[in-house]
Amino acid sequence: MSSPASTPSSTPPFGRLTTAMITPFRPDGSLDLDAAQKVATYLVDGGNDALVLNGTTGEAPTTSDQEKVQIIQAVREAVGDRAKVVAGVGTNDTAHTIECAKQAEAAGADGLLVVTPYYNKPPQDGLRAHFTAVADATGLPNMLYDIPGRAGVEIRSETLITLAEHPRIVAVKDAKGDIAGTTKVLANTDLFYYCGADELNLASLAIGAVGIASVVAHVASREYRQLIDAVVAGDLATAQKIDRRLVPAVETIMTRTQGAIMVKAALKLAGVIEHATLRSPLVEATAEQVDWLTTDLKTAGLIA
285 neighbors 263 (Cβ within 8 angstroms): no
252 neighbors 216 (Cβ within 8 angstroms): no
List Cβ neighbours of 172 (8 Å cut-off, separation of 6 or more).
143, 144, 145, 146, 155, 160, 185, 191, 192, 193, 194
- Count of C-beta atoms within a 10 Å radius of residue 268: 18
Helix or strand or coil: residue 152?
Answer: coil
User: Of these residues, 42, 68, 84, 173, which one is catalytic?
Assistant: 173
- Active-site residue flag, 145: yes
Amino acid found at 49: D
C-alpha span between 68 and 156 (Å, rounded): 29
Nearest Cα residue to 99 out of 134, 61, 144: 134
Sort 120 into a burial class: Cβ within 10 Å, 0-12 / 13-18 / 19+: exposed
- Active-site residue flag, 118: no
User: Of these residues, 145, 193, 194, 224, which one is catalytic?
Assistant: 145
User: Which are the catalytic amino acids?
Assistant: 145, 173
